[in-house]
Structures are given as C-alpha cells and as structure tokens.
A = this chain, B = another copy of it.
C-alpha cells in the first residue's frame, strides 16, 4: 500500500475513533446542554447587600474562588442545612449562629475548592480564623458572620489564603456584583446559577435575588449545594425561618441527582428590609415569589447535574399518602436503571415498574398506570393496548421529560426532579481528585 493510501486509511481510522470517543466521553468543562439558553439572568439589585469576589487560589489558580456578601444592620437571616451526621465545621458554626441579633447586620463568606469537612479540630480553627477576619474588617460581630466551604473533603483548608484576601474583598464590594459572587462558589458546576423576582406591594416593590451552586451529591436533605437568597423585604427573623423551612420542603428537598448527600449543604436567606415592605404570616405573594426563585434555582442545579443530558420531572399521583407518593417518586428518580434508560432515550417503563416495586411504599401492580409525557404507556398491570414503542422512543428524545405514575390507590401526590445517569457522571466522579 502506498504512503498516500496509508495516510488516508489512518485518517479514516482516526475520524472513527474520534467519533466513538466523543460518544464515550462527556467533557466536564463544557456547559451542560440543559443550561438556561440566555446565560446568567439579569437579577434585581437588593438594597442593603453588597458583593465581592476574588481569586484566592484556595485550590485552583486563575478563577474567583471566594465571595463575600455584607448585609446592612437590621437584616434578618434564616438558614437550612444538611442533616448529615458528618457535617462540616462551617455548617456546625452557622447552625450555632442562627437566631443571633439582626440589629448588627450580617456577612456571608464562601470559598470553593475545599469543603473544610472532616478536618477535625483544624476545621474549627479555620472557620474561626475566617469569620474573625471578616468581623474585624467589616464591623459585623463574629456571631453574624456565616461561612461556607465547598470542594474536596478531608483536606485542611488553607485558610490563610482566604484571610489574606478579606481586606481586598471588603474594599471592592458592589451592590450589583451578585453574578461574580455566583461564579466564585462553583465547583464541578458548568454554569453560574441565579434567579430573581420582583413583586409590587402597593406603591412599593419587593425584590428577591438568589444564587446557587451544586451539580453532584445532590439529594435531600437537602439537595447538596450552597444557596444564598437575598430580599429587601422586611421580615421578622423567626417568621423568615418558618417560611424558609416550609418552602425548602416544596423545592430543594424534591430534587436529586445521585442520591448522595453532602456534608456541607447550606441555604441562607437574608431579608434586609430596605424596601420598607413588611411581610407577615399571610403574605402569600411574597411566599409565592420566593418559592418561584427557590424552585428555579433547584431546577438549575438538576440541569447542571454531573453529566446530565436530560431533565426529568417525576410526578406521582394516586398514592395512599403524599409521603408514599414521594417515596415512589424518589425511588424512580434515584434508580440507576431508570436513569440510564433515560440517558439511552429508551422508553423502558418496565424499570419504572421495578422502581415502584422496590420503593417500599404501597403499590398494586394491576392498578398502576404510567405516562411518558402525554403518552399512556402502561395501565392495569400491562402495557397499554394503544401504546406504540416508536411513539415512546420519539418522546424520549426531548431534553425535558415527564414520567407520570398514577397508583390508583388514593389521593397522595408528589413531584420530584432529577436528571439522567451518563458516562459524563462516571467520568467526572472517577477522577475528581486526581
């Protein structure tokens, strides 16, 4: 064979291999195909909050990795955290500080690259050093400085790299720098996540803006991530905490990527009161707007699920109770076999039946019905007579999917959101530390 022919042959081989490789690999650094098409949203500026972010080189150089938010005196702070029995030093510190006096203002300081989790006594020392440094420069008392860390577990946090930057952080704050703050808290995320809302209350406007990070170890309680939400509403601190706890149950606690729960989950909600609009127990417009922001952020976290190529809503009805419905929905959402079927665009409703069967909640095989989108796939213990496999297969090609199950037993209902399980997830997590 001549050299020309050999080159041609090798090039053909190369092209084939490249195509196969592309199918087998998903690049962690490319943006999730499910990311919002318009990029980071334009968020309302919240009176009483200022943001900044810097490159501190906590783990990786060349990226912003520490953010600071300072909040005016009078800002109420509510929080919800992971229930992990091995939660991190910053989480324990934040929990101890909840309920402290709002009059003194507050500050949030967050780093990525290192989670300061399972770091023993050194972890507590790191938290103390960071929150002390923020308190000293900002004038906010230390018991109002909330810190968080996200990244690798079990390695000592090089906190001097952070404390060395506090002055720069404090000196460069701006009310409209929330997007930069959103970028500083990312780890394996492929895009920065933000959501906002504005509501009219009489002649006034109440504004809400939130940011989130999270793409793996996403499961209740609560979804594994960091979330910071800010509003200029005026809300009494205990009420703010009640509202938050209730809405977390309706939003972040209903998403799952891989059933794993982080040791660092933290959600903080700050209400500065700058709008002058007072929120009471019955302010449903505020609750609805806040829930909208939380749900938007929760969905964005699922859409950035490690390796995700499909966003899946699991809607279960007809269960004996809401709790049973949620158990079934989570069993479907967390089943590796369901998740890989979705990845393969395979309308494999048999695996949905399997997941319902194993969930432990009540089910009757012969009363089940399953829809994929609007398509009735199975009912009365068997595939629906009208169902055509090619219809199901065509539906599964969509980016956003609905799997709806009716158990035919009662009035219990639940909705959860998840993503598929792909080669990308394996790739990201089989070499995260190396």
Contact = CB atoms under 8 A, between A and B. Distances in A.
A20 B23 CA distance: 12
Contacts of A368: 86
A130 interface: no
A100 interface: no
Interface stretch (A140-148, A192-200, A420-428): A420-428
Contacts of A119: 381-382
Given A21-B20, A346-B431, A261 B118 contact: no
B118 A381 contact: yes
A341 B86 CA distance: 19
A354 interface: yes
A357 B25 contact: no
A18 interface: yes
Contacts of A431: 344, 346
Contacts of A330: none
A356 B426 contact: no
A114 to B, nearest CB: 11
Contact of A365 (B7, B118, B356): B118
A138 B106 CA distance: 81
This chain's copy number in the assembly: 2
Interface string A4-24: 101100110110011011001
Interface of A: 3-4, 6-7, 10-11, 13-14, 17-18, 20-21, 24-25, 82, 84-87, 117-123, 152-155, 216-217, 219, 258-263, 334-337, 340-341, 343-344, 346, 348-351, 353-359, 362-366, 368, 378, 380-383, 421-423, 425-427, 429-434
Given A121-B381, A122-B382, 9 more contacts: A85-B356, A118-B365, A120-B381, A154-B350, A154-B382, A154-B383, A217-B337, A336-B421, A341-B429
21 contacts: A6-B7, A10-B11, A10-B14, A21-B21, A85-B356, A85-B357, A87-B357, A117-B353, A118-B353, A118-B378, A122-B382, A154-B382, A260-B336, A260-B351, A260-B358, A261-B354, A341-B430, A343-B426, A344-B430, A346-B431, A426-B426
Which 6 pairs of residues, A with B, have the shortest CB-CB distance? A153-B350, A344-B430, A120-B382, A86-B357, A84-B357, A24-B24
